[in-house]
């Protein structure tokens, strides 16, 4: 048995956090599959800690203005635009 | 007979002259091509047309290559069979009842079917090497940081690299010569390896080469695969290579660590697909959250939803330490194991895939079984190392891939060893 059983409510809550609607069939199916997959992940519990310090170097360039996309290019793939802006759902 | 390798067939002419002037190249459909739609195999990006070229595309065009189209793939690279594509499956040119492997299945199939001379794929956990093995072609997963990811639509940034597929080791290395090297638009690229001449390393000379064989990557493989693998080792020994067994205990946790990390990164990367800047036009209503959730329900397929949800779960309060932090520990452990093994060997060898190509439809219903097939490829991505899959003959008429793993920026060694497998 998994240490982390997954019930449909937990799948619904996670889907809510991830902003993905699911229909009831999907919730049921995912609950079964997630229990399977998460219990497989339980094997990570016995992984030893390893001392590994990465060598970090600063790779940021100087903050100077460069050409980017034009407004037209940036908007080209948007399903809806208005007056040169992206158009999103209404804030309610 | 088409094997459905392409999502979009369109010719993009490169420069008149250059090292790839006589070559046609197929491009995986998660690599941006200016003015040519780039779908990632997803309904979400079915109409997306990038305003710019990926760095690798720019470099191919400058080298004179002719691009012939965008190849089919598992949706956002999430799969091992190319069956999770929203555009339908690709068939394996060797046996059309089988999958071509994934996620770069269209790229491997295009090369195997002769529909392109060479191709680019991307490899997050084996997505170049698996289809190369299943279709009987060569695929290289470069060291993390050798090839620019600018313009590659992100799935799991800390793991993925763009890599070439070709009928021969030398052919793949010629493409690597063109695409490798630092890029100021990808801060994770490195200077190391930029000036190496990869194609010239394909000289087939393995006299005195030391090959380590990780026992954990042989156990559990299909017997027909092991038979081809052992025969290939015999052949390399006959050419003057030395082989010895090594043990990498950490690889027993690699699949778990890989999926936790990849899913976690995916849950963050794919948050951008909300239907505002790009995405399908829908009649979604309600507030921002309702509307986003409807677009994402419609635009994403099952496997993508599964990975985003599991990644969200693994990063959520109360579970982060249990899953994500432990997966990072496993990743550090793997790197240490590989460092030790590669201190005693020039290269490591294993079967690329522990199984023969699946039948179409065979593995769709059981995601965990599909994840387990990645056991031999994901450790390489977690350790940031280079690897190549080279054809090692056939079993029951189906291709078997032989994987060689090198030290970081040790592409020349694995290319040399792989070219000896072709002898």
pLDDT tier at A1, thresholds 50, 70, 90: very low
CA dihedral B124, B125, B129, B132 (to 10 degrees): -80
What mean pLDDT do residues B253-273 have? 97
Residue B247 among the catalytic residues:
no
Q: Report CB contact under 8 Å: A79, B281.
A: yes
Share of chain B above pLDDT 70, in %: 100
The phi and psi torsions of B357 (rounded to 5 degrees) equal -55, 135
Residue B225 has pLDDT above 80, yes or no: yes
Of the listed B122, B127, B264, B267, which one is catalytic?
B127
Residues of B with CB below 8 A from A62's CB? Answer: none
Which residues in A lie closer than 8 A to residue B277 (C-beta atoms)?
Answer: 74, 77-78, 86
Hey, are the CB atoms on B308 and A20 less than 8 Å from each other? yes
A27 touches chain B (CB under 8 A): no
What mean pLDDT do residues B253-277 have? Answer: 96
Q: Does the pLDDT of residue A91 top 80, yes or no?
A: no
pLDDT of residue B364: 75
Residue in the block written with tokens 């993390």:
B144
Contacts of B308 in chain A (CB under 8 A): 18, 20
CATH code that applies to domain A8-46: 1.10.20
For A33, the token pair is 């599959």
From CA B188, how far away is CA A47, in angstroms rounded? 27
- Residues B192 and B180: their CA atoms lie apart, in Å, by 10
Tally Cβ neighbours within 10 Å of residue A92.
8
Task: Return the pLDDT at A4.
Answer: 55
Q: Tens digit of pLDDT for each residue in B79-99?
A: 999 999 999 999 999 999 999
Whether chain A has a CB inside 8 Å of the CB on B307: the answer is no
| B286 contacts on A by Cβ (under 8 Å) | 89, 92
- From residue B316, alpha-carbon distances to A14, A33, B185, B264, B294 in Å are 9, 19, 31, 10, 22
How far apart CA B324 and CA B331 sit, in angstroms, is: 11
User: Residue A53's closest chain B neighbor by CA?
Assistant: B332
User: B109 with B135: CB under 8 angstroms?
Assistant: yes
Q: Cα B305 vs. chain centroid, distance in angstroms? A: 21
Residue of B47, B259, B329 with shortest CB distance to A49: B329
Which of the four pLDDT bands, split at 50, 70 and 90, describes residue A2? very low
A55-69 residue pLDDT tens: 888 888 889 999 999
DSSP letter string, B197-233: -SGGG-S---TT-EEEEEGGGTTTS-HHHHHHHHHHH
Q: What local confidence, expressed as pLDDT, does residue A92 receive?
A: 62
Q: What is residue A6's predicted lDDT score, i.e. its pLDDT?
A: 85
Are B351 and B403 in contact by the 8 Å Cβ rule? The answer is yes
> CA A43, CA B315: separation in Å to the nearest integer?
17
Q: Quick count: other Cβ atoms within 10 Å of Cβ B368?
A: 13
Radius of gyration of chain B (CA): 20
Task: Look at residue A5 in the predicted model and tell me its pLDDT.
Answer: 67
Q: How confident is the model at residue B325 (pLDDT cuts 50, 70, 90)?
A: very high
Best A18, A43, A70 residue to mutate vs chain B (most B CBs within 10 Å): A18
| pLDDT tens-digit readout, B298-315 | 999 999 999 999 999 999
- Spatial neighbors of B336 by CB under 8 A, at least 6 apart, are A50, A52, B250
Q: Name, in order, each residue with C-beta under 8 angstroms of B192's C-beta and a sequence gap of 6 or more.
A: B143, B145, B146, B408, B409
Known catalytic residue at B127: yes
pLDDT at site B400: 98
| H or E, element range at B114 | none
pLDDT above 90 as % of chain B: 91
A37 contacts in chain B (CB < 8 Å): 259, 310, 367-368, 371
What token pair was written down for B150?
């600018």
- Chain A and chain B share a number of CB contacts under 8 A equal to 141
Judge: B281–A88 Cβ closer than 8 Å, yes or no: no
Q: Are B161 and B122 in contact (CB under 8 A)?
A: yes
Amino acid B122: pLDDT: 98
Reported as a pLDDT band with limits 50, 70 and 90, residue B288 is confident
Residue B281 has pLDDT above 80, yes or no: no
- CB-based contact (8 Å) between A34 and chain B? yes
- Subunit contact A48:B333, Cβ cutoff 8 A: yes
Contact yes or no for B46/B7 (Cβ under 8 A): no
Nearest to B135 by CA among B354, B373, B356, B348: B356
Give the pLDDT mean for B21-41: 97
Two structure tokens written together for A81: 């635009």
Instruction: State how far the Cα of B81 lies from the Cα of B103, in Å rounded to an integer.
Output: 6
Q: Please indicate whether residue B103 is annotated as part of the active site.
A: yes
Residue of A nearest to B306 (CA): A30
Question: Is the CB of B288 less than 8 angstroms away from the CB of A26?
Answer: no
Place of tokens 């002037």: B21
pLDDT digit string (tens) for B125-184?
999 999 999 999 999 999 999 999 999 999 999 999 999 999 999 999 999 999 999 999
**In chain B, which residue's Cα lies nearest the Cα of A37?**
B368
**pLDDT score at B179:** 98
Rounded Cα–Cα distance for residues B329 and A51 (Å): 9
- Average pLDDT value for residue range B279-284: 77
pLDDT tens per residue, range B49-60: 999 999 999 999
Judge: domain B6-249+332-421, CATH 1.10.10.10. Answer: no
For chain A, the domains span 8-46
Two tokens, residue B169: 């080791």
* pLDDT computed for residue A30 by the predictor: 95
CB contact under 8 A, B293 and A91: no
- Write out the DSSP string of A25-58: HHHHHHHHHHHHHHHHHGGGGGPPP---------
């Amino acid at each position: 048995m998994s240490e982390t059983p997954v019930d449909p409510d937990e799948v619904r809550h996670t889907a809510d956090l991830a902003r993905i609607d699911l229909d009831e069939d999907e919730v049921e199916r995912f609950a079964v599959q997630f229990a399977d997959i998460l219990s497989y992940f339980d094997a990570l519990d016995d992984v030893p800690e390893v001392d590994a310090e990465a060598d970090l170097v600063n790779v940021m360039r100087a903050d100077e203005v460069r050409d980017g996309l034009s407004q037209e290019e940036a908007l080209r793939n948007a399903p809806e635009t208005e007056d040169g802006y992206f158009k999103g759902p209404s804030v309610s | 007979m088409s094997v459905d390798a392409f999502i979009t067939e369109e010719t993009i002419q490169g420069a008149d002259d250059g090292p790839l002037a006589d070559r046609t190249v197929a491009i995986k459909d998660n690599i941006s091509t200016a003015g040519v739609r780039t779908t990632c195999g997803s309904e979400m990006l079915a109409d997306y047309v990038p305003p710019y070229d990926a760095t690798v595309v720019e470099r191919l065009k400058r080298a004179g290559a002719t691009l012939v189209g965008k190849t089919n793939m598992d949706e956002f690279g999430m799969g091992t069979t190319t069956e999770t594509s929203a555009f339908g499956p690709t068939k394996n040119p060797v046996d059309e009842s089988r999958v071509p492997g994934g996620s770069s299945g269209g790229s491997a199939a295009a090369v195997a079917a002769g529909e392109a001379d060479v191709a680019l794929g991307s490899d997050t956990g084996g997505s170049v090497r698996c289809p190369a093995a299943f279709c009987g072609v060569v695929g290289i997963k470069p060291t993390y940081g050798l090839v620019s990811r600018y313009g590659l639509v992100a799935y799991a940034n800390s793991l993925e690299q763009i890599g070439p597929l070709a009928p021969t080791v030398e052919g793949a290395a010629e493409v690597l010569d063109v695409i490798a090297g630092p890029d100021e638009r990808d801060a994770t690229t490195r200077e190391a390896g930029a000036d190496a001449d990869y194609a010239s390393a394909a000289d087939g000379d393995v006299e005195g080469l030391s090959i380590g064989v990780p026992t954990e990557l042989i156990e559990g493989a299909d017997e027909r695969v092991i038979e081809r693998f052992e025969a290939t080792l015999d052949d390399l020994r006959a050419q003057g290579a030395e082989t010895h067994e090594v043990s990498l205990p950490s690889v027993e946790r690699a699949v778990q660590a890989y999926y936790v990390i990849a899913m976690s990164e995916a849950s963050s990367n794919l948050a951008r697909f909300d239907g505002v800047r790009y995405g399908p036009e829908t009649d979604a209503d309600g507030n921002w959250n309702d509307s986003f959730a409807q677009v994402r329900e419609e635009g994403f397929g099952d496997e993508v939803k599964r990975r985003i949800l599991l990644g969200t779960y693994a990063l959520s309060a109360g579970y982060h330490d249990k899953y994500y932090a432990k997966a990072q520990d496993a990743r550090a452990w793997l790197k240490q194991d590989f460092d030790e093994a590669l201190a005693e060997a020039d290269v490591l060898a294993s079967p690329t895939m522990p199984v023969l190509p699946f039948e179409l439809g065979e593995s769709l219903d059981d995601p965990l079984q599909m994840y387990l097939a990645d056991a031999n490829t994901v450790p390489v991505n977690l350790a940031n190392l280079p690897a190549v899959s080279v054809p090692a003959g056939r079993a029951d008429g189906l291709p078997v891939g032989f994987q060689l793993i090198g030290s970081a920026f040790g592409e020349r060694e694995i290319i040399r060893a792989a070219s000896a497998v072709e002898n």
